[in-house]
Amino acid sequence: MKKGLIVVVLALAVFLPVQGRAAETRLLTEADGIRVGYDRGFLLQAGDKFEMKFGAFLQFQYLHRDNDFPATQDISTFKVAKGRLRWTGYMYNPKIGYVIQLELADTSVPGTKRVALKDFAINLNLYPNAKFRIGQFKIPFNRQQLVFFGDLQFVDTSQASKAFNANQTNARDIGVQVSGIYYEDTLQYWFGLFNGNGINNNNDSRGFVTMGRVVYNPFGKMSISESDMANSKDPLLSLGIGVAHDASDMGGTLSPSSADTIGLEFAYKHRGLSVQGEYYTRDDDLNPDADGYYLQAGVFLVPGHIEVAGRIGEIDSDVPNNDRSELTLGANIFLDGHRHKLQLDVSVFEIEATGPVREDDDEVIRLQYQIAF
């Protein structure tokens, strides 16, 4: 633990003197209908026929974990948590958009660093209230998993939001969706059909994941990004429900099975204060049923620059001695909004147990520097 505290102190000594949000940077030039330059990413635009914006995101992290089990070694390491390249734009006309995202520091296979395709999707914005998306992208089921990783309030998402993805694998999948907005951004909807096998995988069964999500914003449009970076003058509230049916959760030809997951969500922002939470429940024919939740809140001590936050969460499973809980406290220094920031999390992750099984309480410190261009 002493090593972790030393690293934290050194990082704060470096970044606190440069605290302060940078000015908006836009460097654009245009000639013969071709526009090039920089605007939150390197931009190339040819009228209304073609646009490509390129950017990169780096998360460099120090991780210290005190493992509770005596036989498990403690961890103290530096790592590249994420190294993303991202392309967005349109082709043929602005109604046909695209997004491509690559991960250069993928660690899905321990001990390796592979290039992984995260997103490759085409957006067909053909109708005002019905936009279609095809390809590989995040299933629009639970709020926190939809947040862009760089816009999170903490270093990582909650344990509960990870455990209750629609496909029971991860947030991304291959499929199609339709979405839309009504009544001046107060009512939003998403419906989708996906393989159900997660990222970069074809469907290995006859079933699919079908899902729907509806969100109501009574006071007007609310950004899905976490923390109240805009120091909202008026209160903003978002309420939502998501339902997912995973028929790809197969138990074999003679005993097909499925899983149904329901998620309830809310989020609130006002004058630097942000609060959000989600509750999930899953009824699974093949695996143990479970429910869970998380609740987190943050407040800016210096609007737009310095924030403190806290989160609690639990996962209650039908499996004996496998209930999990999370307590996390965090602090953020924003140098240029979410695009350039320093984050510190201190967490306790607990696996509850009864009888002869020993409880496991792991203490984790994560210090992360993020920069995007």
Domains and CATH numbers, the chain: 40-372 (2.40.160.10)
What pLDDT score was predicted for residue 255? 46
What pLDDT score was predicted for residue 254? 42
Q: Which two tokens stand for residue 95?
A: 């109604």
What pLDDT score was predicted for residue 252? 46
Residue 32: C-alpha distances to residues 29, 39, 46, 193 (Å): 11, 20, 9, 43
What pLDDT score was predicted for residue 71? 61
What pLDDT score was predicted for residue 17? 55
Within 10 angstroms of residue 79's Cβ, the number of other Cβ atoms is 13
Per-10-residue mean pLDDT for the chain, 373 residues long?
A: 54 52 69 90 93 96 85 86 96 96 76 82 94 97 96 97 91 96 94 93 86 97 96 97 86 63 98 98 90 98 97 92 92 96 97 64 94 94
* pTM of structure: 0.89
What pLDDT score was predicted for residue 40? 87
What pLDDT score was predicted for residue 215? 98
What pLDDT score was predicted for residue 280? 98
Distance between CA 349 and CA 15 in Å, rounded?
Answer: 28
DSSP per position, 285-334: SSS--EEEEEEEEEEEEETTTEEEEEEEEEEEESSTT-EEEEEEEEEEEE
What pLDDT score was predicted for residue 69? 67
Beta-ladder partners of 292: 280, 315
Residue 130: C-alpha distances to residues 133, 142, 188, 189, 360 (Å): 10, 20, 10, 9, 48
